[in-house]
Each structure stands twice: as structure tokens, then as C-alpha cells.
Amino acid sequence: MSGQPRSRSHDGWETGDVGGDWVAHRTEAARVQAERLRARQDAVHAQAEGLLAEFLPVVAAHGPQPEPLRVRGYGGRGEARTPLKGWYLRFDRTAALATDGRFYMLIAPLSALDRLRGVRPAPARPPMVLGEGGKDGESVELPIALERVLPGWRDLA
């Protein structure tokens, strides 16, 4: 020991301690934090999935007809057909609810072959805010997006 007093951090660990105990403690704290984040994200996705499950039968019965969904290339570089039909949830047509009840992000890198043959996008877990983290004005809350597709849909449920 150097004889210098060691101070304690807010979580009780000595700030000069770089031994295995400190590393194990920080590793465990990071794991717990990652678990909590995953649980919060799962709860948000579950809420959005419930909202889409409630919306789908109403829009299928009372809403606009589903239309063929297309995937846009990054940077506006072309489009590709998909085998899907559904309703676009964003004005830029990069997110949609398909007639199978699944949520799709419809933007991807597209090759020339993709644009000719078409693509099959993979479903994604829906967020409660579409475009969250994007530029100002480009995000929209899922309930508002659903109202745009079928105004007053909750009254029809």
C-alpha cells in the first residue's frame, strides 16, 4: 500500500481498488442495467403489439383497403415490391402494418436485382414512437399514426 488514504465512490467501492472485486461488481452492475433496459423495451413493444392487435380487425372491417407494400432503398435509391399488403403508418412509407398483423420497417439497402425481383422484408417488433431518435418532426407516436390511417377507429372497435 502507498499509505495514501483511499476515498470511497458513491456505491461504496474504494476508488483506488482495481482488483477483481471491483471488475466483478461493475460487470454485474452492467448486466443488471442491460436486463432492466431489455425489460423496459419489451414492455414498450408489448404495448405497441397490443395496440396493433386492437387496430387490425377495425381497419380490416372499416378502413381503407390494404395496398401493396413496397420497400424503399436507403437514400431514396429506388423501391422494391414485396408480397405484402397493408397500411403505411408513416408519411414517408417506411413503416407499415401488414394484413397478417405484423409490423414492418420498409427501408433497406436494395441492389438492382432486389428492385427487379422484389424483396421479402422481415417483421419487426413495433415501437410506440415511429422514427424515434430521428430528426425533429420525423417521429410520430403509434396512436397518432393509427388515427391517420383510420380517423376515429377506437369508436368503431
Using one digit for the tens of pLDDT, what is the confidence trace for 44-85? 889 999 999 999 999 999 989 999 999 999 887 899 999 999
Q: What is the DSSP letter of 6?
A: P
What CA–CA distance (Å, rounded) separates 130 from 148?
13
Instruction: Give the three cell numbers for residue 66.
Output: 390494404
Low-confidence ranges of the chain (pLDDT < 70): 1-19, 133-137
What CA–CA distance (Å, rounded) separates 66 from 62?
11
Instruction: Name the percent of the chain in helix, strand, coil, to the closest 5.
Output: 40, 20, 40
The pLDDT of residue 18: 57
What CA–CA distance (Å, rounded) separates 139 from 14?
44
First to last CA, the chain: 72
Q: Helix or strand or coil: residue 17?
A: coil
Q: Could you tell me the residue ranges of all domains in the chain? A: 20-156
What CA–CA distance (Å, rounded) separates 65 from 85?
9
The pLDDT of residue 11: 57
Cβ-based neighbours of 149, under 8 Å, separated by 6 or more: 59, 63, 64, 87, 88, 89, 97
The pLDDT of residue 6: 54
The pLDDT of residue 16: 56
Q: Which of 145, 100, 146 is nearest to 122 (CA)?
A: 100
Predicted model pTM: 0.78
